[in-house]
A and B are shown apart, each in its own frame.
Chain A
Amino acid sequence: MKTLEVQNSQIFDKSAISFLKRNVFQQTVADELAGGGRMIALTPVDKSNPEKIVAVIAHNASSMIHIIGGKFENGKYEFESWAKEFPQTNYFECELSENYGYLPVNHPWLRPVRKQNIILGGKPYPFYNIEGDEVHEVAVGPIHAGVIEPGHFRFQCHGELVYNLEINLGYQHRGVEALFLKSNPAQRIILAESTAGDTTIGHTFAYCRAMESLSHTNLSLRAETIRMMAAEMERTAMHLTGLGGVSNDIGFALASSSYGRLRTLVINSLALICGSRYGRGLFVCGGVRFDVNEEIISQYKENLNVVLNDVRQINEYLFSSIGAVSRFEDTGAVDKKLAQSMGLVGQAARSCGLEEDVRIHFPYGAYRYNPVSMITLSSGDVFARARLRDLEMVEALCFVLDQADHLPAGELRIEPAAPAADSGVVSMVEGWRGEIAHLAFTDVNGELTNYKIKDPSFNNWYGLSLALRQTAISDFPLCNKSFDLSYAGHDL
């Protein structure tokens, strides 16, 4: 067996991975990718000794995760890049190169991911530029006019039309992955909660599942269901925020302020359960910290019914407004083939017609017993991305209301055992933005040797670049908001 096949958040023995020689490794990964796999991580097993790396490939069709190990001896960290044939591996290779000094040979576009001053492949990174009489370059950020996260965008324009957008991130790099190794379990959960402020529950969910798998802890159905409800609440709240942002960007004040008002109601309902509007402190390894009683449930249902009712009307109003739809349609379109080859995930992929949903392809937690429906749209433009969020939000609200009626009984919290030694786990969760993957490896003492986080923004930022091609530069904020990507989640 050249590859190790595991399920989502299934613990595996590190010795079960066969670490292949360079050529075999390259070929095996290429075969996996050609077979319809999607790369979700390319990282060493041990952060301090990067000679053994794993390529983690997810296969939607079989719901299996394939792990291919590679061993690079004598400090010769070179492999033939896959990126020419499979553009989706492009960014993963850059990341590996940046962090561990690997050199992907014949890489088409080796560039810094987070450390903008790093020199990769022997020469400083040159920004793209176009020359000509009527072309101009617009550089935006990393400090913006509004209170948003830092990111640097370079547009090569011809008049109002964008030819190329280059996105440079890393200004929020805090070393989260390294901090995971240094800190103790009590601190780690706080780290997971603060990985990306808008995906608190998503990342904490993935972290908890990874740790529970490593310690063979099985949760009660009640704890799983409360987690799932919280995750869907986060989805609803963030979709409301996103739609509010999209309406605000086209100056549609009525929709924008209504979405803002409803979002408050949703996050306040989350606070009813755990005391934090963003769901901080709710998740704990081995279960959840807070229970819901009848009183909370009824208040919660009352709030959500108000939201559901209002949101349907506002969605109808927004998506039947000629002004709004004329701004949304055909703006920043990404076609399905491109989206697939780039490996877009989550709502950005689903709005291009790709079926990508961890809750369905790699079910976890209570989603194993309560399937959600796959929602996709085909046009891949701002309209599709906005409309998809509208549909998903209504779906999530109905789902949560339904779950609240049938909460199973069970123990809230089980004290987890210590993580198993010499093991590994791949934990995937569908955050509101898309697929979140956390990888953990332990050593002989059960201590973490590497903890790798992949936020959906990591896959999707490049999608934004592509959406902007031949789009008016004045539509950039709208496209950006429709993707709604995280800087912190990417920069880690």
Chain B
Amino acid sequence: MDIEIIQGIISLLLLILLAPLFSGVVNKLKAKMTGRIGAPVLQPYYELKRLFRKETINASNSSFISRFSPILNFVAVIIAAAMLPVGFWKPLISFNGDIILFAYILGLARFFQILAAMDIGSSFEGMGAAREVTFALFAEPIFFFTIGSIAFVSGAASLYEIYHSIHLDNISYMVFVVICSISIFMLAVTECSRMPVDDPNTHLELTMIHEVMILDNSGFDLFLYQYSGYIKLFIYTVLEISFFNPFGKESYLVYAGIFIVIAFALAFLLGMAETITSRYRMKNIPQYLLFATAIGILNLLIFTFTQ
């Protein structure tokens, strides 16, 4: 077998297997910051194991959409993960223009999750779906104005090449990349329903966005949703980490070091944000998202004009 394919498979497996650990680390750090001991770092794995063994119960009035949406959601997220370059390895799926597929395969996952939420006919889930769609509308441009602007600058159109084009030797380019990473962080917070957009720990149905959509799912279906949630968060984390990759002929050891340090830094930032900030009022969330988009646009404009 081609070495690139093996590397692609290994990086995909790493992404899938380490994803719950990252969420566990975020939760642990958050607990520490609020003076609690917190759940073990491996708690997300235990949760997944528990859900995996449980029976799925579907609402009696739900249609086939509710049945296949969790699987589709999970598979779509896995495909997106397979397109993500980890380190200097070529991802499993990589072709010219895969950035569009990457964005919309995640969009597809969301689309079916929203359909499944409305399928049951619960008023909460309908509200959650409405919120998710509204905020997704504002979140989509963020991705294209950040990753897209790097693509625009480099002329590349696949995630692998886009990230390979990043070189942190030029100061103005470095600033450009750092600001892009800020936008992506704001996007990650939204997409993965973290604070200050959504509160992953709330038990209040009326304020939930993402959580309320999976309120009627149980057992294996919930396992799939939860797991794809963890993977999604990790995908955005790796997107962030890849900004700071010293691409080229570096050693695995240096790369692994950078990966771990930045992952921890991001987990710390997420935990910190969830500790010291409060959630935005629902009507202010679009402002927050437009702000991230504006950063992306201005960043691109300033960079192209200063070159």
Contact = CB atoms under 8 A, between A and B. Distances in A.
B249 to A, nearest CB: 44
A296 interface: no
Contacts of B124: 138, 140
Given A145-B205, A477-B206, A472 B34 contact: no
A246 B201 CA distance: 14
B281 A251 contact: no
Interface in A439-492: 472-477
Contact of A261 (B35, B196, B202, B280): B35
Nearest to B200: A251
Interface stretch (A15-23, A98-106, A320-328): A320-328
A474 B33 CA distance: 27
A251 B283 contact: no
Interface stretch (B143-151, B168-176, B270-278, B296-304): B270-278
Contacts of B53: none
Contact of A254 (B34, B204, B215): B34
A160 B280 CA distance: 15
B28 interface: no
A160 B282 CA distance: 9
Contacts of A252: 276-278
B104 to A, nearest CB: 27
B281 A253 contact: no
B277 A323 contact: yes
A140 B205 contact: yes
Nearest to B212: A145
A126 interface: no
B206 A474 contact: yes
Given A257-B35, A474-B207, A251 B282 contact: no
Contact of B281 (A137, A140, A475, A477): A475
A137 B275 CA distance: 34
B90 interface: no
Nearest to A325: B278
A250 B33 CA distance: 17
A251 B127 contact: no
B195 interface: yes
Given A250-B278, A323-B278, A140 B206 contact: yes
A146 interface: yes
Interface string A183-197: 000000000000000
A332 B179 CA distance: 38
A253 B205 contact: no
Contacts of A257: 34-36
Contact of A251 (B33, B123, B202): B202
Given A136-B123, A138-B127, A323 B196 contact: yes
A256 B280 CA distance: 16
A342 to B, nearest CB: 24
Interface residues of A, number: 33
A137 B195 contact: no
B205 A327 contact: no
A258 interface: yes
A335 interface: no
A145 B280 contact: no
Which residue of B34, B195, B280, B284 has the most chain A CB atoms within 10 A of its CB atom?
B34
Contacts of B110: none
Contacts of B210: none
B35 A258 contact: yes
A325 to B, nearest CB: 9
A178 interface: no
Contacts of A321: 276, 278
A422 interface: no
A67 B33 CA distance: 56
B123 A137 contact: yes
B126 interface: yes
Interface string A136-171: 111110001110000000000001100000000000
A475 B36 CA distance: 27
Contacts of A251: 195-196, 199, 201-202, 274, 277-279
A160 B35 contact: no
Given A138-B206, A477-B204, A254 B127 contact: no
A324 B276 CA distance: 10
Nearest to A261: B35
Contacts of A324: 278
Contact of A139 (B123, B275, B276): B123
Contacts of B127: 138, 160, 473
B28 to A, nearest CB: 13
Contact of B275 (A136, A159, A253, A331): A253
A138 B130 CA distance: 14
Given A136-B123, A323-B196, A253 B30 contact: yes
Interface in B182-227: 195-196, 199, 201-207, 215
A329 to B, nearest CB: 10
Interface string A229-258: 000000000000000000101111110111
A261 B278 CA distance: 19
Contacts of B207: 249, 474-477
Nearest to A476: B206
A465 B247 CA distance: 59
A145 B204 contact: yes
Interface in B249-307: 274-284
A91 B137 CA distance: 46
B206 A254 contact: no
25 contacts: A136-B123, A137-B123, A139-B123, A140-B205, A145-B204, A145-B215, A146-B204, A160-B283, A247-B278, A250-B278, A252-B277, A253-B34, A253-B274, A254-B276, A258-B35, A261-B35, A321-B278, A323-B278, A323-B280, A324-B278, A326-B281, A327-B279, A327-B280, A474-B207, A476-B206
Interface of B: 30, 33-36, 123-124, 126-127, 130, 195-196, 199, 201-207, 215, 274-284
Given A146-B203, A160-B282, 11 more contacts: A140-B124, A160-B283, A249-B202, A251-B196, A251-B278, A253-B33, A324-B278, A327-B279, A327-B281, A476-B207, A477-B207
User: Can you list the 7 inter-chain pairs with the closest CB atoms, starting with the nearest?
Assistant: A146-B203, A323-B278, A250-B278, A257-B34, A251-B279, A477-B204, A251-B199
Interface of A: 136-140, 144-146, 159-160, 247, 249-254, 256-258, 261, 321, 323-324, 326-327, 331, 472-477
